[in-house]
Structure 1
């Protein structure tokens, strides 16, 4: 089945240049903008100033402005809606300044000017297209000199494979590949629980039980005083339609509450290993940690790739470190837009916006079994929906950039990661909360 069409609108390389005759105090202003696109939330970004020392340089090579300011993702329905509009769609940017000493500069200040950039998505159906790249006059002073605003707006195709769980991951559902209204079963999930009394998480190599490195496991067997409450032993195995296991998520660090509270904290997070098959055994590919933020209003998480290393401790690359609101849920996103070293966990993260789209193709050997170089990850990687865990049925939807899928195991690894994120919502719930029956068996209480 073919991937689903997506497009992304990227805004970056922002810079602001005041007239040469402007007062020096203007250079101490904090400038920011509001970026608006119809039917999308407004995004905000700081704007670096071009000073007299660097005003002859182009912003795209100026270290102050080489960053992504906003990103909008459009699925096929939104693309069709854009194309069907009789009035051309445009991106609107409002530029503001503040001088009250605030550090974020994201509240309304003095409006310096507005910019409108028309968008033609048809031009970007098959290849990236720059809608604007250069200076724009946004206002004049009393001498008739213009303040100039620099930005780059690019639209690029971003096809993705879309998968949807047939039910809650803990209910061992099927996973379907989705394209429009068509659905095709491609994976099955098997959720399992270890015996709560079994504290030995290391087993002999097999394709039914993970054998991660001991470097990543706590010395659980040596605990003389186990925690009063813990959630442990959860795992979910992804099988292809032939029944062969192609990925696994295994809870390797129990989720336990911080002493004196009923929540898992960032100082002692629970953890999963995402594993892939290798020569008849399992090999760690990534590690997911999850916890509750201090006010318990959000799920915090961190995901890192594991790389083979000759040293005692495997090397890692952190791809995302962020939060998801606990009340309404949200999206687990790995986005390395045009970055070879800096994760873009939010639209305001700094990244190399001027280096190109990063759309390339890589062989499966480069991507498999935890050996992926961090320099291969570019552009949109994956996204999965995460709810608050209180609904009657949760069916996570997973989007994966096509450039990161070369074989079944590639897609399965991301599906297993999405399942681990979803299950982490339950694992991080207050220990006064009663879990659903599929999960309760592994919540042990030690008297």
Structure 2
């Protein structure tokens, strides 16, 4: 870990020369603009394409051409058990046993499936607790589930908001809300990383408090998996869902995944929506009535996994395993710290923006969210024109602010470099200078 940084191109270059993971950048296709590689900082939205993904997808296309339906049982990775090849990588990334994870469906579908099993409201215990400003798909899923059970979201949904003047949630405030509403709460559903602010939530503490109050603890890990270290099994999390197209680099609309703790996965009597692929594998082709779930998370599968999409998923997971998960976490921590340092240095001259992501490394992943009080869109457009691929999010909680919003920057350790981060800071400085000139004209 580097503790003393310098704001110079030579220093950034020196850090890159010492980076033992630098060769993994070549594992990805970097988009080009005007003949130059872009500065790609949207791994929190869509990760880059692994070069080896093409090979694995083409292998399955060739198998399909050669074997047809027999590809389900022929070749090195028969389609019948194809989903099993993702288990090792997923279990490492979320801190679980292989039986507790499975790649299937997409994120929101999986969230609904998990809520069928784990949101079981009663007259006295019917509330769901989640963070205010959660990703819209989660909000829609929760609201529709409440209405499906005949509940009024105004009464049954408890949303935790930051304190006035703050952007992120204090852990003690989250726990206090769970404590306050716990006796009426059926489910605590939080993000692992808050998509807008980049804040990392304390999964272990939230789970412990939920369980103390008799509630289920579930998490949406869309922005957490492949980004931060997690220990879902040891932390006793009940369930989790995620997508694979952000930090997992598995392609647009890539296969999702779920975690179900073994204490639930080994309970065949737990209610669920059943499908053919979740049925006992040994008797699946007997085509008989009477659902008998497979043990573990596999028992929540509905249909056979999308083979071509999962081939890309396997390619990406194998890269993580080759690089070493802990090494990636260490680089991510240092790379993000360097970005934070450069932004703080800029902040000595410009007061247009504020980094709203927590400063402490243990309270964030690699994403830093730059909140602009005004004219942030103009800054973002300048960056885009000059080869920076980032994203802009309007501020959802302050509709009166003129052009207020966030530019999210995620330096991903697999393919971003220290020079990327330095060049971004130089372009941001130039954008701010030009914006100040425009305003004063």
Shorter-chain TM band = under 0.3
* More strand by percentage: 1
- Point out which structure has higher relative CO (alpha carbons under 8 A, 6+ apart): 2
TM-score by length of 1: 0.26
TM-score by length of 2: 0.27
* More helix by percentage: 2
Larger radius of gyration: 1
